[in-house]
Amino acid sequence: MTTPAFEKATFAGGCFWCMVKPFDQYDGIESVLSGYTGGHKENPTYEEVCSETTGHYEAVQITFNPDIFPYEKIVEIFWQQIDPTDPGGQFFDRGDSYRTAIFYHSDEQKAIAEESKRQLDQSGRFTKPVATQILPAKPFYPAEEYHQDYYKKNPAHYNRYSVGSGRVRFIEEHWGNNEMNKQNEQLRQKLTPMQYHVTQEDGTEPPFHNEYYEHTEEGIYVDIVSGKPLFSSLDKFDHGCGWPSFTKPIVEEEVIEKKDFSHFMIRTEVRSKEADSHLGHVFNDGPVQTGGLRYCINSAALRFVAKEDLEKEGYSAYKKLFE
């Protein structure tokens, strides 16, 4: 199997807390690291950068597979997270360390960034000229661990900050009709508030008081967003935790696992591959005879299809599970 040829992309977009989640959700994005770049001091601390004495920008460095997620798309997403016309910071964060910039790692990236900036300037979307600089990449120093994946570790504070800073309102006002927001609005209309909270905001429904915790009917459970088959009633068991528990997915490739550092814990998050829905977590306290795993899944992330309805709903391939 050929090893993917990963590339780097580096952006400064103001507070780096707000610049991870927009990229983190896509296939082809291997990692998004918060850090400091563009300055003259090696390995600066957060306090040193905030003092505006080191010349660094708060930035994110993205490792990506260009065959799956091209650099042009990453640049497009970057523009949609910032106020590119502000030369003195971002929103209520002021100072050189909060300025915006695209740091290119190759001549190709430079050309793409410059053309994208030119098109944005000429689009008429903003009344002021684009002030974001396009600069050669310099050494990138990862930020302290507590800054990494901040939106996962401290979701409540992250949400308050992104709204309170003015970033969310600015994005809604200037990019309200972009593809991502259209998709989010469609999901809000399709899903219940709890289903949206769980799948799109990495939320958790109440234990015991949810649709499938004590559900025993035979059939399969599919992703509420994409409809992809995820789990079977044949692998469901009562763990007593308050949420549906399964020993394994129907097709392992349809779920992906990520490290989750939220709520001061280290857990393994489970997400659906097709829709990137948050499903729940996987633990090592399941039945020993089936491998010891327990997939603890939110009911709100699932839709049940009874075995007698499988053919009618387009899941006839899974009828054999119950023969």
Tell me the pLDDT of the chain (323 aa) as tens digits. Answer: 455 689 999 999 999 999 999 998 787 899 999 999 999 999 999 999 999 999 999 999 999 999 888 999 999 999 999 999 999 999 999 999 999 999 999 999 999 999 999 999 998 889 999 999 999 999 999 999 999 999 988 888 898 899 899 999 999 888 875 555 566 777 888 899 999 999 988 889 999 999 999 999 999 999 999 999 999 999 999 999 999 999 999 999 899 898 877 767 788 999 998 888 999 999 999 999 999 999 999 999 999 999 999 999 999 999 999 98
Q: Which of 18, 115, 19, 23 is nearest to 65 (CA)?
A: 23
Assign a CATH topology to domain 7-176: Peptide Methionine Sulfoxide Reductase; Chain A (3.30.1060)
For the chain, first and last CA: distance in Å?
A: 36
Residue 18 makes CB contacts below 8 A (sequence gap 6+) with 81, 151, 158, 161, 162, 165, 167
Among left, alpha and beta (phi > 0; psi -120 to 50; other), residue 175 is alpha
Q: How far apart are CA 81 and CA 176, in angstroms?
A: 12
- Name the DSSP class of 105: S
Query: Which one of 15, 18, 50, 241 is the catalytic residue?
Result: 15
Q: Which of 204, 198, 223 is nearest to 273 (CA)?
A: 223
Q: Which of 109, 102, 121 is nearest to 57 (CA)?
A: 102
Q: Which residue intervals of the chain bear CATH 2.170.150.20?
A: 219-321
Q: What is the pLDDT of residue 120?
A: 93
Question: Active-site residue 241, yes or no?
Answer: no
Pairing of strands 100-104, 133-136: parallel
Q: Which residue intervals of the chain bear CATH 3.30.1060.10?
A: 7-176
Q: What is the pLDDT of residue 273?
A: 87
- Angle (CA) 42 150 144, round 5°: 25
Q: Are 13 and 46 in contact (CB under 8 A)?
A: no
Question: Active-site residue 296, yes or no?
Answer: yes
Number of H helices, E strands in the chain: 9, 17
Assign a CATH topology to domain 219-321: 2.170.150
**Is the pTM here over 0.75, yes or no?**
no
Q: What is the pLDDT of residue 1?
A: 45
Q: What is the pLDDT of residue 74?
A: 95
Residue type, 138: K
Q: What is the pLDDT of residue 238?
A: 94
Residue type, 23: F
Q: How far does CA 221 lie from the centroid of its chain? A: 23
Residue 33 makes CB contacts below 8 A (sequence gap 6+) with 60, 61, 62, 63, 140, 142, 143, 148
